[in-house]
Amino acid sequence: MKHIDLSKKVVEMIGVTKKFGDLTANDAIGLTVHQGEIHALLGENGAGKSTLMNVLYGIYTPTKGQIRINGSPVEISSPSVAISQGIGMVHQHFMLVKPFTVTENIILGKETAGCFGKINMNQAAKDVSKISEKYGLQVDPLAKVQDITVGMEQRVEILKALYRGAQTLILDEPTAVLTPQEIKDLTRIIKNLTAEGKSIILITHKLKEIKESADYCTIIRRGKHIGTVQVDQVDEQQLASMMVGRTVNFKVDKQNGAKGGPVLEISGLHVKDNRGLPALKGLDLCVRAGEIIGVAGVDGNGQSELIEAVTGLRPIESGSVSIQGKQINNLTPRQIHGRRVSTIPEDRQLRGMISEFSIAENMILENYYKPPFSKKGFSQTAPIKENAQTLIQRFDVRPDDPDYRAGALSGGNQQKMIIARQIANNPDLLIAAQPTRGLDVGAIEYVHKALMAQRNEGKAVLLISLELDEIINLSDTIAIIYEGRIIGLLQNGDADEKKIGLMMAGHVN
C-alpha cells in the first residue's frame, strides 16, 4: 500500500441515505477513500453500489447525509459539480455516442474553440494521445466508437474522465464485459493511476480481482454498510460471507448424468459477421439431452455469431442447424422458440428485456400472445402477475414487485429476471450466453445450480462463456472455438486451464 496517503481523505461519504419512493437503496452508508488508494465496493446485486456512486457523481441527490471532498463539505448537485470536484465515473453500462469518433467523445462538452469558433480537433487529438500514453490507455483517436471493441470503449470512458481532470475515478463493474487479457491491461492501468496519486473506487463482483488489486473493501448488503476491511487481512471466502450473510459454495455439485440423444446438431455452418466477413467457417457441434457443452474461446472467435445463427437472428450462408432432428435454418426467432429453444442472451439490455416494461411484462415477452396470458386477444392481468410472482420468488429477483419497471432494476437483477423467464419456458435446448455476467457470487451459485438442474432433468444446455472457471465448473464437454470453428473437444476431467488456454490460442496437438 505504498502509494496511500492516509492523511488525505479525498472522499468521505457520511451517513448517506438514498430512497426511491418506499425503497431505501442506501441506508446511512459511510465510505472514506484516501489518496492513492484502490477501494473496492462489494455487495450483492441490488445492494446499492451503483446508487451510492451515482450519489457521489451527482446523478442522484441523497435523501440524507453529507459528502466531503478533500475535507470540505460539498453539495454535489450534478455531474458537472462532481467533475469540478475531481470525480470521474465510468458507468456500468457505457454512455458514449456511437457515431462519434473517440476524440469527439472524449472532448464532448469540453471543446476548445480556435479561430472563428471552429473546434481545434488536431489539438484535441494531441491532448488525448498525451494522456493515453501517460497511463498506457491505448485507443485509436480517429476511430468511430461504433467500430471499436468493448475494451477500447472502456478506455475511452476512462480517458474522458481523466481529460476532465478526475482525481478520484469510479469504475462501476469495469471488468464484467472484458476478456481476461483486457482485465490484465485494466489492472495495470489502475495501478499506474494510483502510482500517480489518483484514487480508484472499484465496483466488482469478482473476489479474485479485489484480492489482486484493492487495498480496502467496503461491503454493503441490502443498502446497509456491513464493514470496511483491509483486503490483505481477509480471504475470498470471508469477503463472500460478509457480502451475502452466509457461506457461499464456489463449486457446483456435478452428478453423473445420463446422456440422451442429440438435441442440437450443427454441421458445416458458415455465417458472416456484421461487416460481411466470414465469422463461422464450417462449424460442427452436437449437444445431447442431459449434457452441458461449454464453448470456450477468446472473445470474437465467432461465439456471438454462433448464438445468433442458432436463434434465428443472423442468416445462415451454408451448413445446417437442426433441433431434435429437424432443420431450423433461417427460421424466425419465434419459430425457433416454438421448437423449444430458450436463450439467455449475452447483451441483456439489447436482446433480453424491454426496460420500459414491468417485471411481469418482461416475464412473458415470448409468450404474451398465448393462454393463459392472453385470451381472445385480451391480455389477462391476474395470470400475468401470478406468473411473475412465482418466478420472482424462485429466482430471488429484488425487489419482489411484479409492477416494478425492469429498467430500474439493478444490473444483476435484470439478469436474474431474464434467466427466470428462459428456464420457465421449459426448453429442450437452453442456450446460455455469459449467463452470470454482472452477477454477485451468491447469485452465480444459484444460476449454476439452476443450469445443472436443467441438465439433470435431461435438457441440452449450450453454455457460451468467457469465464473459464464457469466453463470448467459446469461443462461435461468443453468445445474450443477458434476462428469460427470448433477445433477441439475436451472431456471435463482431462481439461485444465492451461490446456484450454493453449487451445484457445489455436494450438491443437
DSSP 134-154: HHT----TTSBGGGS-HHHHH
Q: How open is the CA angle 95-52-192, to the nearest 5 degrees?
A: 65
As measured in angstroms, the least distance from the Cβ of 151 to ligand ATP is 20
- Rounded CA-CA distance 457/291 in Å is 10
Q: Which is nearer to ligand ATP, 42 or 466 (CB)?
A: 42
Whats the size of the chain, residue-wise?
509
Residues contacting ligand ATP: total by CB under 6 A: 20
- Taking CB under 6 A as the rule, does residue 412 contact ligand ATP? yes
DSSP 254: -
Please report whether residue 477 would count as binding Mg ion according to CB under 5 A: no
Tell me if 435 contacts ligand ATP by CB under 6 A: no
Rounded distance between C-alpha atoms, residue 306 and residue 271, angstroms = 8
Which H or E run contains 451?
helix 441-456
Please report whether residue 88 would count as binding ligand ATP according to CB under 6 A. no
Pairing of the two strands 292-296 and 477-482: parallel
Instruction: Name which position in 34, 398, 421, 459 contacts ligand ATP (CB under 6 A).
Output: 398
Write the binding mask 311 to 350 for ligand ATP: x where contact by CB under 6 A, - elsewhere.
----------------------------------------
User: Quick one: which of 50, 167, 303, 387 contacts Mg ion (CB under 5 A)?
Assistant: 50
| Residues 6+ away with beta carbon under 8 Å from 259 | 288, 289, 290, 291, 476
Least Å distance, CB 131 to ligand ATP, is 28
The one among 3, 34, 49, 155 contacting ligand ATP by CB under 6 A:
49
Segment 78 to 97, residues that bind Mg ion, using CB under 5 A: 92
Q: Residue 194 binds which one of Mg ion, ligand ATP, none, with CB within 5 to 8 A depending on kind?
A: none
3-state secondary structure of 43: strand
Strand partners of residue 278 = 272
Tell me how far, at minimum, the Cβ of 439 lies from ligand ATP, in Å.
8
CA distance 507 to 509: 6
* CB 53 to ligand ATP: min, Å: 8
The reply to whether 132 sits near Mg ion by the rule CB under 5 A is no
From residue 175 to residue 214, the character string flagging contacts with ligand ATP as x (rule: CB under 6 A) and all else as - is ----------------------------------------
In three-state secondary structure terms, 403 is coil
- The CA distances from residue 66 to 18, 30, 31, 268, 335, in Å, are 12, 9, 11, 62, 55
Give the Cα separation of 221 and 336 in Å (integer). Answer: 40
- Residues 212 to 271: which contact ligand ATP by CB under 6 A? none
CB of 359 to Mg ion, least distance (A): 17
Applying CB under 6 A, which residues contact ligand ATP? 20, 23, 25, 43, 45-51, 92, 398-399, 408-413
Applying CB under 5 A, which residues contact Mg ion? 50, 92, 411
